[in-house]
Amino acid sequence: MAVPSTNVGLSDIQTEFGGSNPISLSEYYSGGPLVPSGAPAPNGPIPSSGQIAIGQFRCAVAAEFVAATGGSIATVGNYKIHTFTGPGTFTVTNAGNAAGSNTVDYMVQAGGGGGGNNDGGGGGGAGGFRESVPSPAAWTASPRAASGGALPVSATGYPVTVGGGGAKNAAGSNSVFSTITSNGGGRGGNEPGEPGGNGGSGGGASGEPSGSGGSGNTPSRTPSQGEDGGDGSPPTPYTGAAGGGGGGVLNAGTAGFGGGGCYPAPASVGGDGAGTAIAPSSYGTPGPSAPLRYYGGGGGGTASDCHPSTPSPATVKGPSVGGGGKGGKSNEVPQPSGDRNGATNTGGGAGGAGGFGYSCGGSGGSGIVHIRYKFQ
């Protein structure tokens, strides 16, 4: 709708912008409750004070805003945020217009990869992460956000897929919204000698014998959706084998460095995830820059010692920022398997297995989708 181009009356302005009776032109100053600042008016601009004329409203258009249903909905200021932690449909009931809003911003996080099994297992790669940069900058987006990436919408339903985390030694699953696909994280490599899997972020390789870390950002996206996994490290006379850390959204996983039982060694850690303020603080994990919440940390690789009877002088675990699971170390018998898992709805990669024998890596964290738009 728009105000007519000819024979404009007060009733035409009221029909477009609303208002009360009796109609007064003073209700329709720009920036007031009825006419937003910058409302399209080819014969304007519509003044915010002082003299105002009916002719300035010819072809003027009232602001309309996106309205939608689906997922869990939160309100932050003038914005609605729809969060999907499982499959669903984002249904647009009003597509809005340029005078109000007609695009949505997004953050699409895929499921993290599972950790590798046995001595020297690699950490799982984080799920791929994709986000748009808000315009105007109403919140802080991550360094991985795509400028100008907000998506135009129409009045229809958009299926949403939320990727599950990979089981031990398995890739995570993709998350999808509209034209945006984030790819599941690569699996961590099994001992003996398995390379890390490719994916949104690459999985870390096994360390016995050493393998190569998986490639992140597979398939290629711009900006990158994740980084490479770390290489494994073979055993030496003084160190055990160590798996590489899984790649994170922001950083590559580190290479394995022989385990901590015979020789104190640094952990192989998963790469860090990305921080964003697109969603409320009930999602993601805390990180170095509050109030940002972090997603897509890689899983830590295993540090394998010399023998279970040899006391381990260091706890060699590699948690990352953004929900990645901790890598195991040997001499943990039985293995505390819970902290190997990537955190739920962060897309964190799982930690590799620890200990001698046939222990198991963790499961990757499930993904999540946030959709945000201006509603008033």
Angle at 375 between CA 344 and CA 148, to 5 degrees: 70
The Cβ of residue 279 has, within 10 Å, a number of other Cβ atoms equal to 22
Predicted confidence at residue 319, as pLDDT, reads 52
Predicted confidence at residue 218, as pLDDT, reads 97
Predicted confidence at residue 307, as pLDDT, reads 40
51 by Cβ neighbours in 10 Å (0-12 / 13-18 / 19+) ranks as exposed
Predicted confidence at residue 91, as pLDDT, reads 98
Are the C-beta atoms of 253 and 120 separated by less than 8 Å?
no
CA–CA dist 222, 148 (Å, integer)? 12
Predicted confidence at residue 240, as pLDDT, reads 62
pLDDT-flagged residues of the chain (< 70): 235-241, 257-267, 303-320, 328-338, 354-358
Predicted confidence at residue 310, as pLDDT, reads 36
Predicted confidence at residue 206, as pLDDT, reads 87
**Secondary structure class of 27 (helix, strand, coil):** helix
Predicted confidence at residue 177, as pLDDT, reads 98
* 33 cis-preceded (ω within 30 degrees of 0): no
Beta-sheet pairing, 72-76 with 180-182: unpaired
Are the C-beta atoms of 93 and 67 separated by less than 8 Å?
yes
pTM of this prediction?
0.86
Query: Residue type at 308?
Result: P
Predicted confidence at residue 40, as pLDDT, reads 78
The Cβ of residue 53 has, within 10 Å, a number of other Cβ atoms equal to 11
Predicted confidence at residue 158, as pLDDT, reads 98
**Secondary structure class of 175 (helix, strand, coil):** strand
Are the C-beta atoms of 226 and 198 separated by less than 8 Å?
no
Rg over CA atoms, the chain:
26
Predicted confidence at residue 361, as pLDDT, reads 87
Classify residue 173 by its DSSP letter.
P
Dihedral, 216, 126, 150, 282 alpha carbons, nearest 10: -170
Classify residue 30 by its DSSP letter.
B
Predicted confidence at residue 19, as pLDDT, reads 93
163 by Cβ neighbours in 10 Å (0-12 / 13-18 / 19+) ranks as buried
Contacts of 33 (CB under 8 A, 6+ apart): none
CA–CA dist 172, 39 (Å, integer)? 46
Residue labelled with tokens 């258009």: 61
Predicted confidence at residue 317, as pLDDT, reads 41
